[in-house]
Each structure stands twice: as C-alpha cells, then as structure tokens.
Structure 1
C-alpha cells in the first residue's frame, strides 16, 4: 500500500483551544411565586459592558443560540436580551424564534417625542412578528403612551425608585398596560416582601439568583472565508457555489449546521447535505448569519491543521462512496469525513459536539459507533493517513477497492483541497 496521506498530521484527541475561542455568557433568573423561573436575562461576559452596541447585541444572541448548549443555558424558559435601538432595526432578529425571546428596550434618547414615535413603529412591527417587549419603568411616564400597549413586561428598578414611588407606579401599570411587572435589583428578603405587598409577582436580583457564568469553547472560521461567504450570498450566487465554500471549511459548515439546529432558531430539522443547509436558510437569512459570524470572528488566522485534514477526508470519502454507493449517499460520506475531526477542532468529545447538530442517523452511527455503510470508508481513510497497511488492506479488500482506486481518489482529494485553498 502506498499512502499519499501517511505524512499528514492526524489530530485525534481534543486539544486546548486559544482563549480567544472562548465565550462567556452570564444568566440571571427572573422568578415568580415559589421561585418558579419565568426566564433568564443573558449578559455577555466576553466583552466590556461599555461596549454595548448593536453588534454586541447581535453577538450575544448569536453566541447564546449557536455556540452555547442552549438547553443547558435556558432550557425551555424565556430569554431576556438587552437591546440597543439600532439592533432592534437590524436584520439579525429574523434569525431568532420570537416565541423564546423577550427584547428589553431602553428609553428613547433624551425622551425626545420624535424618537419615541419613530421607535414605536419599529416596536409595533416586532410585536406583530411575535416578539415580547420589556421596558423599564420609564415607559410609565409622560410621553411613552404609544409604547405602553406594546409592553409584555415592565421592569421596576428598585434601586432607582424611591420606596414611596413604587406603589403609584404599580397602580398606574395595572390600569395603563396589560404588562406583567418585574421588580429588579432585589437584594434582601425585606425588599422582596415590600415589593410583593405592592402586588408585584415577578422578581430579579441577587437575593434570588446571582448571575451564573457559562463558558463555551468555539471554533471560528477565518474572516476571509466568512467574507467570501458574505459576498457570495449578497451576489445571489448559485447554491452550488455556496455548497462548495462550505465543503472547503468544515468549521464554517459545522457552525452553520449548529446554528440551524439551535433551539432559538425554531427549525431543529435533520440536515442531509450542505446544499440542504443552504436551502433551509435561504439567501436572506444566510446573509444575516454570515454578518453575525463576521461580527464575532477575529481578523487573520488560518484554518487549523485538523480543518485541512478534514477537508481531504471528506472529499476522499465522497469519491470512494461514488465507487460503491448510490449518488445520494455521497453527500453524507463527505459530511462523515469533514466532521470526523470536529472534536479536535472544537476541543470537546465528539459525541458532545454532535449533539448540537442534526445529522442523519447513518452519519452519526459512522462517527460515534463506527457502524453502518459509511464506517468502512472512514476506517479506510484513517488508515491512509496513519499509514496502517494492515487495516488498509483489510478494509480495501472488504470493499473490493484496488490500491489504484484508493490512491487515485487520494490524488483527486488532495488536488481538490489544494484548489479550494484547504
């Protein structure tokens, strides 16, 4: 056996990732009677609070719904997200399942009547789409009459309101809105009791729940790749070109499949190919997703060695599958090869990584159990990389593939990956 890939690096074990590939998201519960959790407010702990912009809002939503284990982070509870006015107008909200998200909206700049009315139209549109809106107690003051009917929640800042003002605010909220009231910054049992006596039933604060930080490792495609995707989408490129780019960079493809499977997106569908993933989102949502990915990426950087190896694996398995299986099976063979090193790229066990994407069962079986129709192709590919002649001969013979067939497929896979820049 003459292996063309025997000198290629074969990262097989999860390795520590750079600190820049780690995100930190804090959550704090909003609770009701008997401390039953209504939802969690999320905070980005990866950046300075002073850097709160439309892009930072987008990054927090993107990270929470793409990279974090959303079920562990918020389960089936509501997600409360602080927004800037700019982020409310941004297209990235089209990617979010509105039934899970409450948008916390700050007051208009200087409480200017023109700004209030302009934002009222934006907020009404979001409410119509199914988003719930939360405002602070300012919405109960003069000038915000157009916002009040849109409120699902009104937050009363205990620290900012004099105790004698809380009861009048509560009384006015009950008559002037249909919103539920949330008392925030509740820090003692006495404060909780006083607010409860005023008729408030939802609470947030250190006495009830201190923010818990969840740290998550990520894999980020190079900015150049993301920019290429963004430009292809904006130019309405053919689906085949987009699929080709996803095949070139497994980190890009894995991020897209994980995002599609995120509970916040509301899709949760099995993806049968990268082409299918592109078609599921469509050009407009794919453009928003690429922009969000670009927002959270870092400049520079080259694909990891594992990423290049995975590209060659995917193409080699696709070519070998074409010799043995039906044409519709070849896409799955590519996915098996491309995602077989996700554990090395992501720094977590493969089983945990695959929980965040929805793949056909035969693909999962090949990756985790080493069973099914794609398993021998993966074993043969790995034997080529490691130079294990015994395994190569056994699997190639079982598949009725000659040395020449496999080596030609190697050459084609290497040439294809080189041409793709992998």
Structure 2
C-alpha cells in the first residue's frame, strides 16, 4: 500500500474548480504550477502531469511548454514539486524541436504529444514520424491520447509508451474493444484519464488498465514559488561568454557577480529533471557538468523571462526572437558555425536598448567576430541582409520583406515559417499575460 505522502483519497468535487492563476501572481515574481497525480490501482503515485498556472490564460503554445518546464526545473525545484516521480508535460509539435528539451534527462519526462488538426492529411501525419522517432532515440517516452488509435495514426502507435483514454469522451460500450485494440497494436501502458466516478475506475481496472488520472483520485494542487530574476545584462554577458567558448573561470566570474543568476543555475542543475546522482555546490562544477551547449540553451530561456525593475521583458524577448530567426534563416544558406554567429547578431542587435548605452560602446565590452560587428555597426557583410530581413519581419514592411527575401533566394513560406518558429521559441508566459 502507498504511504500517506504518495496517495490521496480526495473524492470528485461537485463542480470543477477554477485552477487559474492567483490574482496577484502576475504582479509578483511568482511561478505557479499545478500538478495532478497519475496513480496505480492502489493509489500509489506513478507520476505527475504539470500545468502552468502563472497566468490566467489557458493559451497553450510552444513557448508555454518551454516556460513550464524551465520554471519547474529552475524555479519551482522538482524535488518539492514532483520528488523522484515521472513528469508528464503537454507539448505542441512546434515545441518538440525546442532547445529546452536538451536541458533535461529523458528518463525523467514523458512528452504528451497531441494529434494534428482534424483535417490533417496522411502526408502531414507521416511527416511527423521522423521527429517523434528522434525523440524516442534520445530516450524520451511519448504519450498520446486515444486519437492515436484511429487508422490515420497507425504509424505512430509503435512509438507510444503511454496511451491516455479519456473517460469523458469514451462511451462505456467502447472501452473494452478500445483497450483490446491498443494492446494488440502497441506496447503502450494505458492510462485512464479524467476519471470522475468509482464506476469509471472499476470499469477500466477490470479491463486491466493499470494507471489512472482524474478528479476521483485527486484535484490538481497548486505549487507556488518566488522567481529569482537576474539582471538582463548579466544574462546577455553569460550568453556572449558561452558563444565565444570562454573558460570556466570566466563564466564562473559572471555567475559570482549575480546571486540570482547563480542561484537559478544551481537549483536547475540539482533538480531531479537533470538526472544527476550527486549534488552540485560550486559554480565551476555546475559549468563543467552542464557543458557550453546546454548552458547556452538555459541562459537563452532565462533571458526571455528575466525582468529589469519589474517591467515586462519585451526587449529581451524581441532580441531572442531576432537571434533565433536569424539562426534559422542562416541554416538555409550558411555553414553551421555561421548560424551561431547569426544568432549573436540578432540577440545583440538590441544590446543598446537593453543596456541603455550606444551600441558601439556596448560592443566594446564583448569579443565578437568581425562579421558580427560589421553587420551590427556598419550594416554590411554576410549577416547584414539576414538582419535587415529580420527587421522587415518585425515591421511588417511587405515591400522590403519581399525584396530582401528574394535577394537571399528564400521563399516567403520559408521566412514566415522560420519567423513563427522563432516567435514560439522565444515568447515568454510573462509577455502573454500583458
């Protein structure tokens, strides 16, 4: 039998409660995450599904996926949030390519993958297989809802580690054949979700379903934590140091300069989501274990959520959008090492606004390749047309957009898709709440 800490006997409420954000959550530096347990037939907790409740909006985007996971690891602290249990995170298909997934230990997280739009073509469904297979190869387990049991999604079934059956949408007489079909065509563990009555639970348990989720077992519990927000200038400098592959000592120095920055890093790397077996207590050790690539991804996400004097991080977000968009556009035409520099051009193009000093003076304090400074200060060189096109995307100048895209031999579709990806990657939940 489970221990009291791992079980609950909360009955279903008479009405579904509102688990929106607390009224003052947006006004303070608070991250609010709801967790709902997934339990076995004896009510022992197998894992937790996490939902972001920092804002009252239920708008689900690639950015909210990244922000939720980032806050769960860097701010809420997974030990207090989920302990050693498995974490289930809802994803959009756009977020599956996000760098934030590189920050976590695949064994700790189940990615819940939605079906495509109702009118999705067989070609589009088949086109997602490679990305899903890549996630499986990296060690992630994938969960799908019962739509994956429909004929168009037959090719996704072998990739399923979990299949969730919705008790509110599933007719009782279809439960047995659906469970039988799932078992015959997949190796997935079945989860009965949205269980609200003893009858629903017993019906699925009798069919051999082993995991359950729903209000009959437990309501979501809100976990609130105060976010320590470092100075944007320090996050930018950290990104710059990582990009030029600075020494551990140099990176350690910037971490020592900003307590909030170092606090977030140590809390993140010691979270169960990162998967370490020992606690990291020194900045040097943290940097060495994390590695430059993951340190950059972490800092880039931190930049989108950091605020100066309580103001919205609109400038930081725009800078990261520019960086990501330039990186994606450059990937179409330039070698991989140049894509890194394209990102730097985009992020640093607003450095004067973020630091409140002229751009030329701001750039004197950082070591950058000539190709980067040429684009930023003189609007020339290989990256200049990419930066101009990026700015045209922001301004909505259709004439300049068309001309610059044509000069780079990029189609409107390529640029627009890259822009959407960049917006989704860099958008922060704090900005959504504005």
TM-score (norm 2): 0.62
Q: 1:23 aligns with which of 11, 17, 31?
A: 31
Check if 1:157 corresponds to 2:166. Answer: yes
Q: Render the CA deviation track for 1:357-411: whole Å, top value 9, x for unaligned.
A: xxxxxxxxxxxxxxxxxxxxxxxxxxxxxxxxxxxxxxxxxxxxxxxxxxxxxxx
Q: Distance in 1 between matches of 2:107 and 2:67?
A: 20
SS in 2 for 1:264: helix
Q: 1:138 aligns with which of 147, 164, 168?
A: 147
Q: Which has the higher contact order (CA 8 A, sep 6+)?
A: 1
Residue 270 of structure 1 and its aligned partner are, at CA, apart by: 4.7
Check if 1:115 corresponds to 2:124. Answer: yes
2:98 corresponding residue in structure 1? 90
Larger Rg: 1
Q: Map 1:1-400 to 2 at 5 A.
A: 19-109=27-117, 110-271=119-280, 273-300=282-309
C-alpha contact (below 8 Å) 1:55/1:295 kept by paired residues: no
Q: Say if 1:175 and 1:67 are closer, same or farther in 2 by CA, change over 3 A.
A: same
C-alpha contact (below 8 Å) 1:188/1:207 kept by paired residues: yes
Residue 297 of structure 1 and its aligned partner are, at CA, apart by: 2.5
Q: Distance in 2 between matches of 1:151 and 1:174?
A: 11
Q: Render the CA deviation track for 1:19-70: whole Å, top value 9, x for unaligned.
A: 5211111111111121121111111110245332112111111111222242
Q: Distance in 1 between matches of 2:212 and 2:282?
A: 45
Q: Distance in 2 between matches of 1:69 and 1:248?
A: 23
C-alpha contact (below 8 Å) 1:59/1:295 kept by paired residues: no
Q: Distance in 2 between matches of 1:192 and 1:76?
A: 26
C-alpha contact (below 8 Å) 1:67/1:218 kept by paired residues: yes
Residue 222 of structure 1 and its aligned partner are, at CA, apart by: 2.2
Q: Render the CA deviation track for 1:309-361: whole Å, top value 9, x for unaligned.
A: xxxxxxxxxxxxxxxxxxxxxxxxxxxxxxxxxxxxxxxxxxxxxxxxxxxxx
Q: Say if 1:36 and 1:273 are closer, same or farther in 2 by CA, change over 3 A.
A: closer
Residue 283 of structure 1 and its aligned partner are, at CA, apart by: 1.2
Residue 190 of structure 1 and its aligned partner are, at CA, apart by: 1.7
Stretch of structure 1 that moved more, 78-87 or 19-28: 19-28
RMSD over aligned Cα, in angstroms?
2.1
1:7 corresponding residue in structure 2? none
Q: Distance in 2 between matches of 1:229 and 1:84?
A: 29
Q: Distance in 1 between matches of 2:236 and 2:215?
A: 42
C-alpha contact (below 8 Å) 1:42/1:79 kept by paired residues: yes
Q: Render the CA deviation track for 1:280-320: whole Å, top value 9, x for unaligned.
A: 21110001111221233235559xxxxxxxxxxxxxxxxxx
SS in 2 for 1:67: helix
Q: Distance in 2 between matches of 1:194 and 1:272?
A: 49
C-alpha contact (below 8 Å) 1:222/1:301 kept by paired residues: no
Q: Say if 1:201 and 1:269 are closer, same or farther in 2 by CA, change over 3 A.
A: closer
* Structure 1: segments with no counterpart, 5+ residues: 1-16, 303-422
Q: Distance in 2 between matches of 1:215 and 1:133?
A: 27
Residue 272 of structure 1 and its aligned partner are, at CA, apart by: 6.1
Q: Say if 1:270 and 1:189 are closer, same or farther in 2 by CA, change over 3 A.
A: closer
Q: Say if 1:88 and 1:164 are closer, same or farther in 2 by CA, change over 3 A.
A: same
SS in 2 for 1:50: coil
Q: Distance in 2 between matches of 1:159 and 1:270?
A: 43
C-alpha contact (below 8 Å) 1:223/1:300 kept by paired residues: no
Q: Distance in 2 between matches of 1:135 and 1:144?
A: 10
Q: Say if 1:268 and 1:256 are closer, same or farther in 2 by CA, change over 3 A.
A: farther
SS in 1 for 2:80: helix
Give the count of matched residue pairs: 286
Q: Distance in 1 between matches of 2:252 and 2:42?
A: 50
* Structure 2: segments with no counterpart, 5+ residues: 1-24, 312-434
